[in-house]
Protein backbone atom coordinates (compact mmCIF):
# COMPACT_ATOMS: atom_id res chain seq x y z
CA UNK A 1 0.00 0.00 0.00
CA UNK A 2 1.44 3.35 -0.98
CA UNK A 3 1.74 6.52 1.09
CA UNK A 4 -0.58 8.19 -1.43
CA UNK A 5 -3.28 5.63 -0.64
CA UNK A 6 -2.84 6.28 3.08
CA UNK A 7 -3.12 10.01 2.42
CA UNK A 8 -6.24 9.51 0.35
CA UNK A 9 -7.84 7.42 3.06
CA UNK A 10 -6.88 9.93 5.72
CA UNK A 11 -8.50 12.65 3.63
CA UNK A 12 -11.82 10.83 4.01
CA UNK A 13 -12.04 12.11 7.57
CA UNK A 14 -14.97 14.51 7.53
CA UNK A 15 -15.72 17.03 10.23
CA UNK A 16 -17.92 20.08 10.55
CA UNK A 17 -21.48 20.89 9.56
CA UNK A 18 -20.98 19.92 5.91
CA UNK A 19 -20.29 16.29 6.80
CA UNK A 20 -23.88 15.10 6.55
CA UNK A 21 -24.22 16.43 3.01
CA UNK A 22 -20.99 14.77 1.90
CA UNK A 23 -21.44 11.48 3.69
CA UNK A 24 -25.20 10.99 3.73
CA UNK A 25 -26.28 9.56 7.04
CA UNK A 26 -22.96 7.83 7.68
CA UNK A 27 -21.32 8.55 11.04
CA UNK A 28 -18.24 10.77 10.98
CA UNK A 29 -15.71 7.96 11.11
CA UNK A 30 -12.07 8.49 10.32
CA UNK A 31 -11.19 6.08 7.51
CA UNK A 32 -7.51 5.64 8.23
CA UNK A 33 -5.20 2.74 8.91
CA UNK A 34 -5.69 1.21 12.34
CA UNK A 35 -2.76 1.23 14.72
CA UNK A 36 -2.31 -2.41 15.68
CA UNK A 37 0.45 -4.37 17.34
CA UNK A 38 2.41 -7.19 15.70
CA UNK A 39 0.03 -9.93 16.83
CA UNK A 40 -3.14 -8.70 15.12
CA UNK A 41 -2.16 -9.94 11.63
CA UNK A 42 -1.21 -13.46 12.81
CA UNK A 43 -4.42 -13.55 14.88
CA UNK A 44 -6.54 -12.81 11.80
CA UNK A 45 -4.64 -15.42 9.76
CA UNK A 46 -5.18 -18.01 12.50
CA UNK A 47 -8.89 -17.20 12.49
CA UNK A 48 -8.98 -17.68 8.71
CA UNK A 49 -7.34 -21.08 9.13
CA UNK A 50 -9.98 -21.96 11.73
CA UNK A 51 -12.64 -21.03 9.18
CA UNK A 52 -11.01 -23.37 6.66
CA UNK A 53 -10.90 -26.16 9.23
CA UNK A 54 -14.48 -25.60 10.38
CA UNK A 55 -15.77 -26.42 6.88
CA UNK A 56 -13.34 -29.25 6.11
CA UNK A 57 -12.67 -31.44 9.17
CA UNK A 58 -14.41 -34.75 9.90
CA UNK A 59 -13.47 -35.32 13.53
CA UNK A 60 -14.74 -37.49 16.39
CA UNK A 61 -17.35 -35.84 18.59
CA UNK A 62 -14.91 -35.57 21.49
CA UNK A 63 -12.64 -33.45 19.28
CA UNK A 64 -15.53 -31.12 18.48
CA UNK A 65 -16.27 -30.92 22.19
CA UNK A 66 -12.67 -29.98 22.99
CA UNK A 67 -12.63 -27.43 20.17
CA UNK A 68 -15.89 -25.98 21.48
CA UNK A 69 -14.29 -25.49 24.88
CA UNK A 70 -11.37 -23.64 23.30
CA UNK A 71 -13.74 -21.55 21.19
CA UNK A 72 -15.78 -20.59 24.24
CA UNK A 73 -12.57 -19.63 26.04
CA UNK A 74 -11.70 -17.33 23.13
CA UNK A 75 -15.16 -15.79 23.24
CA UNK A 76 -14.80 -15.13 26.95
CA UNK A 77 -11.35 -13.62 26.39
CA UNK A 78 -12.36 -11.29 23.55
CA UNK A 79 -15.90 -10.31 24.51
CA UNK A 80 -14.91 -7.53 26.98
CA UNK A 81 -13.09 -5.74 24.15
CA UNK A 82 -15.99 -5.25 21.73
CA UNK A 83 -15.61 -1.87 19.99
CA UNK A 84 -18.01 0.24 17.91
CA UNK A 85 -17.81 0.32 14.13
CA UNK A 86 -14.92 2.49 13.04
CA UNK A 87 -12.94 1.86 16.23
CA UNK A 88 -12.20 -1.85 15.89
CA UNK A 89 -9.18 -2.48 13.64
CA UNK A 90 -10.91 -5.09 11.42
CA UNK A 91 -11.35 -3.58 7.98
CA UNK A 92 -8.90 -0.74 8.63
CA UNK A 93 -5.52 -2.50 8.45
CA UNK A 94 -4.53 -1.65 4.90
CA UNK A 95 -1.43 -3.84 4.79
CA UNK A 96 -3.31 -7.04 5.63
CA UNK A 97 -5.27 -9.21 3.18
CA UNK A 98 -8.92 -8.21 3.25
CA UNK A 99 -7.91 -5.17 5.34
CA UNK A 100 -7.85 -7.49 8.35
CA UNK A 101 -11.58 -8.27 8.14
CA UNK A 102 -12.76 -11.88 8.19
CA UNK A 103 -15.81 -10.87 6.16
CA UNK A 104 -13.66 -9.81 3.20
CA UNK A 105 -11.83 -12.31 1.01
CA UNK A 106 -8.13 -12.32 1.95
CA UNK A 107 -6.83 -10.40 -1.04
CA UNK A 108 -4.23 -7.63 -1.07
CA UNK A 109 -4.66 -4.40 -3.05
CA UNK A 110 -1.49 -3.77 -5.05
CA UNK A 111 -2.54 -0.71 -7.03
CA UNK A 112 -5.00 1.90 -5.85
CA UNK A 113 -5.55 4.93 -8.09
CA UNK A 114 -8.30 7.02 -9.70
CA UNK A 115 -7.93 5.15 -13.00
CA UNK A 116 -7.73 1.57 -11.74
CA UNK A 117 -7.83 -0.62 -8.63
CA UNK A 118 -5.99 -3.94 -8.76
CA UNK A 119 -5.96 -6.68 -6.13
CA UNK A 120 -4.32 -10.11 -5.98
CA UNK A 121 -5.02 -13.17 -3.89
CA UNK A 122 -6.56 -16.60 -3.83
CA UNK A 123 -9.72 -18.15 -2.49
CA UNK A 124 -9.46 -20.72 0.28
CA UNK A 125 -11.19 -23.94 1.37
CA UNK A 126 -13.65 -21.80 3.34
CA UNK A 127 -14.90 -20.35 0.02
CA UNK A 128 -15.67 -23.68 -1.69
CA UNK A 129 -19.12 -24.11 -3.19
CA UNK A 130 -18.46 -27.58 -4.60
CA UNK A 131 -15.80 -29.63 -6.39
CA UNK A 132 -13.02 -27.27 -5.22
CA UNK A 133 -14.65 -24.36 -7.05
CA UNK A 134 -15.36 -21.02 -5.41
CA UNK A 135 -18.96 -20.56 -4.26
CA UNK A 136 -20.83 -18.38 -6.72
CA UNK A 137 -21.97 -16.07 -3.93
CA UNK A 138 -18.42 -15.25 -2.80
CA UNK A 139 -17.27 -13.78 -6.10
CA UNK A 140 -19.79 -10.88 -5.98
CA UNK A 141 -18.41 -10.04 -2.51
CA UNK A 142 -14.98 -9.56 -4.05
CA UNK A 143 -16.39 -7.42 -6.86
CA UNK A 144 -18.48 -5.31 -4.49
CA UNK A 145 -15.45 -4.58 -2.33
CA UNK A 146 -13.53 -3.54 -5.43
CA UNK A 147 -16.37 -1.31 -6.61
CA UNK A 148 -16.39 0.50 -3.28
CA UNK A 149 -12.63 1.12 -3.52
CA UNK A 150 -12.93 2.25 -7.12
CA UNK A 151 -15.74 4.69 -6.41
CA UNK A 152 -13.81 6.15 -3.48
CA UNK A 153 -10.60 6.60 -5.48
CA UNK A 154 -12.60 8.35 -8.19
CA UNK A 155 -13.33 11.01 -5.53
CA UNK A 156 -16.99 10.08 -5.26
CA UNK A 157 -18.52 10.66 -1.83
CA UNK A 158 -19.88 7.77 0.22
CA UNK A 159 -22.05 5.56 -1.99
CA UNK A 160 -24.20 2.46 -1.77
CA UNK A 161 -24.38 -0.38 -4.28
CA UNK A 162 -27.38 0.08 -6.57
CA UNK A 163 -26.89 -3.16 -8.44
CA UNK A 164 -24.19 -5.74 -9.09
CA UNK A 165 -24.26 -7.99 -12.16
CA UNK A 166 -21.76 -10.85 -12.45
CA UNK A 167 -20.99 -13.00 -15.50
CA UNK A 168 -19.38 -16.32 -14.57
CA UNK A 169 -17.15 -17.17 -17.53
CA UNK A 170 -15.25 -20.17 -16.13
CA UNK A 171 -15.05 -22.12 -12.89
CA UNK A 172 -12.99 -20.18 -10.36
CA UNK A 173 -10.63 -22.50 -8.43
CA UNK A 174 -9.47 -22.23 -4.84
CA UNK A 175 -5.80 -22.09 -3.80
CA UNK A 176 -4.86 -20.47 -7.12
CA UNK A 177 -3.25 -17.02 -7.53
CA UNK A 178 -5.75 -14.66 -9.17
CA UNK A 179 -6.01 -10.96 -9.98
CA UNK A 180 -9.01 -8.65 -10.16
CA UNK A 181 -9.06 -5.18 -11.73
CA UNK A 182 -11.79 -2.57 -11.42
CA UNK A 183 -12.34 0.84 -13.00
CA UNK A 184 -15.00 3.50 -13.45
CA UNK A 185 -16.87 3.07 -16.72
CA UNK A 186 -18.88 6.32 -16.60
CA UNK A 187 -20.46 8.81 -14.23
CA UNK A 188 -24.01 10.16 -14.51
CA UNK A 189 -24.92 12.58 -11.74
CA UNK A 190 -25.03 10.62 -8.48
CA UNK A 191 -24.46 7.36 -10.36
CA UNK A 192 -21.03 5.80 -10.79
CA UNK A 193 -20.95 2.81 -13.14
CA UNK A 194 -18.05 0.47 -12.41
CA UNK A 195 -16.70 -2.59 -14.24
CA UNK A 196 -14.26 -5.31 -13.18
CA UNK A 197 -12.61 -8.50 -14.40
CA UNK A 198 -11.30 -11.52 -12.49
CA UNK A 199 -8.49 -13.48 -14.18
CA UNK A 200 -5.92 -16.13 -13.40
CA UNK A 201 -2.19 -15.49 -13.78
CA UNK A 202 -2.30 -16.68 -17.40
CA UNK A 203 -4.87 -14.01 -18.22
CA UNK A 204 -7.84 -16.37 -18.53
CA UNK A 205 -11.08 -14.51 -17.79
CA UNK A 206 -12.97 -16.25 -14.97
CA UNK A 207 -15.66 -13.68 -14.24
CA UNK A 208 -16.53 -10.09 -15.00
CA UNK A 209 -18.96 -7.68 -13.42
CA UNK A 210 -20.64 -4.33 -13.75
CA UNK A 211 -22.15 -2.37 -10.92
CA UNK A 212 -23.81 0.86 -10.00
CA UNK A 213 -22.67 2.91 -7.02
CA UNK A 214 -25.09 5.68 -5.96
CA UNK A 215 -23.93 8.69 -3.94
CA UNK A 216 -25.92 9.13 -0.76
CA UNK A 217 -28.18 12.11 -0.24
CA UNK A 218 -28.07 14.00 3.08
CA UNK A 219 -29.45 11.80 5.82
CA UNK A 220 -29.50 8.58 3.80
CA UNK A 221 -28.07 5.65 5.81
Q: For residue 107, what is the domain's CATH number?
A: 3.10.129.10
Q: Quick check: 15 pLDDT over 60?
A: no
Instruction: Report d(CA 191, CA 189) in Å as an integer.
Output: 5
**Separation CA 44–CA 101 (nearest Å):** 8
Q: What is the mean pLDDT of residues 153-164?
A: 92
- Residue 98, domain member (yes or no): yes
Query: What's the distance, CA 103 to chain centroid?
Result: 7
CB-CB neighbours of 55 under 10 Å: 11
Q: Classify strands 205-215 and 117-121 as parallel, antiparallel or unpaired.
A: unpaired
CB atoms within 10 A of CB 199: 17
What local confidence, expressed as pLDDT, does residue 125 receive? Answer: 98
Domain annotation covers residue 124: yes
- SS3 percent helix, strand, coil of the chain, rounded to 5, is 35, 25, 40
Closest-CA residue to 49 (of 88, 94, 106): 106
Sheet holding 108-112: strands in order across?
Answer: 108-112, 117-121, 178-188, 191-200, 205-215, 159-168
Asked if the structure places residue 42 within a domain, the reply is yes
Selection from 55, 189, 200, 180 nearest residue 128 by Cα: 55
In a domain, 220, yes or no: no
Rounded-to-integer distance, Cα 160 and Cα 2, Å: 26
Give the range of the structural domain holding residue 44, as residue numbers without chain letter: 3-215
Q: Each residue of 19-71: pLDDT tens digit? A: 444 566 666 654 567 889 999 999 999 999 999 999 999 999 999 999 999 99
Of 177, 220, 221, the closest CA to residue 198 belongs to 177
Distance, in Å, from the CA atom of 174 to the CA atom of 50, rounded to the nearest integer, reads: 17
**pTM, to two decimals:** 0.86
pLDDT score, position 29: 54
At residue 84 the predicted structure's pLDDT band, cuts being 50, 70 and 90, is very high
Average pLDDT, the chain: 88
The residue length of the chain stands at 221
- What total of structural domains would you count in the chain? 1
Spatial separation of the C-alpha atoms in residues 62 and 76, rounded to whole Å: 21
Dihedral sign for Cα atoms in the order 26, 29, 33, 34: negative
221 belongs to a structural domain? no
Amino acid sequence: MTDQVDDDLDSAAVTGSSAVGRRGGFPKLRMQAADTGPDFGPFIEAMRTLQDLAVSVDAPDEVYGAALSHAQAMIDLLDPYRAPEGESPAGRVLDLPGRGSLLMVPWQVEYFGPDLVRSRGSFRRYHVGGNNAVHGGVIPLLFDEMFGFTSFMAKRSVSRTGYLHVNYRKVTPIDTPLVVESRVDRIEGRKTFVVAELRDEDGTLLADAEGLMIKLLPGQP
